[in-house]
Amino acid sequence: MFAFTARQPILDRNKSVFAYELIFRDGKAGAFPEHSKEKSNYIANHFHPLGLDDICAEKTSFINFSSDTIISRFPTSLNPETVVVELADNPFTQTGLLEACQHIKQLGFKLAIDDPMMMSAQHDIFPLIDILKVDVSKTRYENIEKQIPRFIDANIKLVAEQVEDHDNFATCKDLGFDFFQGYFFAQPEARMMKQLPASKMNLVDLMGESSNSVFDVDRISEIIERDAALSYMLLKFINNPTINKRYKITSLKHALNYMGEVEIKKFIALLSIANLGDDKPLEIIHMSLVRAKFFDLLSKTRDMNTNPPIGFLVGLFSLLDGLLDQSMTDILKQLPLSEEVNDALMGKNLEFNAYMSLVRALESALWMNVIKQAKVLNIDQKQLHALYNQAIIWGNGVRSAISAHYPKAKAQG
């Protein structure tokens, strides 16, 4: 049951997603929760819980387990091909945990351990470890540098946690880390005023049209027809089964007749952002997709159905600063977005400020903040989880339409 869960991406050295760590609202310190059969049935019937493939987009899942769960109640239904077992407790003092970990390994699972001081090399569990996680915000780099060779020599993969900016990423990469957890990839690399390149002007025009209250299908068709790749991707988006399971759409005008202008505005906005940051990790686009759908669902729940779809656009464009390596202020000077969208992106709209606080809380597993924003928005917090889960599934589906045509992020260093 993965109804009340946050996920945090773990990226490889090329900034592609290797795995997601799952953090559970109902588990101690975010570990895998032990629901009663009655509670599991209730969740299944009321909150449409996600499966692992839903929440992790068919990537590997890192799941924390308490010692008690590993020793006596480990869920045998999990797939060792796609789940990494992460120890939530210190394994050096827990009676019976070493033997239980040996059993977990015999079942075929990889074992990850959080070890900020990198002391596990001195303990009996060392031969069982496949992945070591180090919180680099709590450990001095010189200490890491001294300890790291013995783990590399033992063929243990290394995850740097709390990597929050590009300098941290570059340093950890140089030290020899294999994977990186933190939101560094969504941060601007350099805040400097620079003009968007001429090659992106078609995309800028589309962003403007998506936030325009007047819908000019001829104008939009003209923009898209300038670029064969845009035409192809628009049709691929609209014919994605996540979006449209019934009809084969063959042109923008055909799509307009079938979907209506509000939905088309969403897709021309999607089209623009999917092509805008072509040297950035796909995960920043993926986060934007989930936010777009989530804000759209929140707007509808709050009876704010608008044309243009403001909630969707604000969520979709909320990471533009990381995508374009500029401040949001400088970006908005160059984009022909509506005043309402601009104000929301600049934090001048209380409604969307609440959405932004909420989605950041859900992304970071800050459950008390989720409860706080649920009260602000007058939406039951369990309903918020259900809406967010819906947004994750939608984002995963749309990502699949993008990924085959999305360039790999440029490796740094």
pLDDT for position 409 = 47
For residue 84, tell me if it sits in a domain.
yes
Position 327 pLDDT exceeds 80? yes
pLDDT of res. 355: 97
69: domain CATH number is 3.20.20.450
CB 282 within 8 A of CB 406: yes
Last residue within a domain, chosen from 186, 217, 242 = 186
Q: Are residues 132 and 212 in the same domain?
A: no
Find which of 68-72, 147-151, 175-179, 193-197 is predicted with most confidence, using mean pLDDT. 175-179
Whole-model pTM: value is: 0.88
Residue type, 163: V
Among the candidates 156, 186, 216, a domain finishes at 186
Each residue's pLDDT tens digit, 206-253: 898 899 888 888 888 888 888 777 887 777 777 877 766 677 878 777
Pair 140, 207 in one domain: no
What is the span of the domain harbouring residue 300? 198-403
pLDDT given for residue 192 in this prediction: 56
pLDDT: is 122 or 81 the higher one? Answer: 81
* pLDDT value of residue 411: 44
Query: Could you give the CA distance from residue 407 to residue 357 in angstroms, rounded to a whole number?
Result: 31
Query: Pick from 271, 239, 210, 220: which is nearest to 402 by CA?
Result: 271
Q: What is the pLDDT of residue 379?
A: 95
412 belongs to a structural domain: no
Domain for residue 94, yes or no?
yes
Q: CA-to-CA distance for 291 and 335, rounded, in angstroms? A: 20
% of the chain exceeding 70 in pLDDT: 89
Residues 150 and 231 in one domain: no
| Count of structural domains within the chain | 2
Residue-level pLDDT at 41:
59
Specify the pLDDT at position 412. 43
What whole-number distance in Å separates Cα of residue 148 and Cα of residue 140?
Answer: 12
Is residue 151 in some structural domain?
A: yes
* Predicted local confidence at residue 300, as pLDDT: 94
Mean pLDDT of the chain: 85
- Asked if residue 217 is part of any domain, the answer here is yes
Q: Are residues 78 and 102 in the same domain?
A: yes
Inside any domain, residue 57: yes
Q: Are 221 and 112 in a shared domain?
A: no
Q: Based on the domain organization, do 204 and 350 belong to the same domain?
A: yes
- 409 assigned to some structural domain: no
**pLDDT of amino acid 401:** 74
Q: What is the pLDDT of residues 4-31, one digit of tens each?
A: 888 999 999 999 999 999 998 887 888 8
225 and 152 fall within a common domain? no
For residue 408, is it within any domain? no
281 with 348, same domain: the answer is yes
**For residue range 28-86, what is the model confidence (pLDDT) as tens digits?**
888 888 755 665 555 555 555 566 777 777 789 999 998 888 888 888 788 899 899 99
- Same domain? For 358 and 274 the reply is yes
